[in-house]
Amino acid sequence: MRSLLSALVLAGALGFAAPVLAQSSPVDVGLGASATRENETTLVATAAWLPEWRRTAHGVLRWELGAIYVRGRDNTRFDLAEDTGVVHGGARYERDNGFIAGFGIGVQAGRTDALSGNPQFVSSVGWRWQRFSLLARHISNASIKQPNDGETMLVAAWRFR
C-alpha cells in the first residue's frame, strides 16, 4: 500500500508539473504492458521530461528525467503483488529518422522479485512518429541484489509540446 501511495504522489506531482515543463521542453506520457519471468504481465505508466542537451548532425541528444509505475500482480508463484515505481535520470538519443535509444539510472519505491533493489538501470529502444512513439524498455538492477528478474515492457507514448 505504501508503494501505491508513493506512485500516486509521484504521478500527481508529474501531472501538476507536466504543463509547466512542457512549455520549455517535451514531455512524453505513456501506457503499456510489462512482463517478467514466465510472462506475468501487468499495466505500466510512464512520464518523462526531455530537455534538449545537444543537437547532432542526424538527431538530438536529450536529458531524460522520468518515472515508471508498474502495477502489482496477484496469483503468481513469484512475489510480484506490490506496486512499484522507479524514478530515473539519464540520456536519450533521437535520430531524425525516428529511431530512439536511451539509458538511465534510477531508484525504486516498492519491492518485488522483479524489482528488488537500488539502483535500477533503465534502457530503452524504439521509434517515434511525430508525437507518437513506441518503446521497448527494460528495468533491472544488473544482479546487484537478488532476485533480479527485471521488468521488460512495451510502451506507447504521446509527446506534449
* pLDDT tens track for 113-147: 888 889 999 999 999 999 999 999 999 998 888 88
State which residues form the domain around 105: 2-160
Of 87, 85, 120, the residue nearest 6 (C-alpha): 85
Rounded CA-CA distance 27/51 in Å is: 9
Q: Is the pLDDT of residue 70 over 70?
A: yes
CATH number for 146: 2.40.160.20
Q: Dump pLDDT digits (tens) for 86-122.
A: 999 999 999 999 999 999 999 999 888 888 889 999 9
Burial zone of 26 (CB within 10 Å; 0-12 exposed, 13-18 middle, 19+ buried): middle
21 vs 11: CA distance, rounded Å: 14
Residue among 136, 146, 145 at smallest CA distance from 35 = 136
User: How many distinct structural domains can be found in the chain?
Assistant: 1
pTM summary value: 0.84
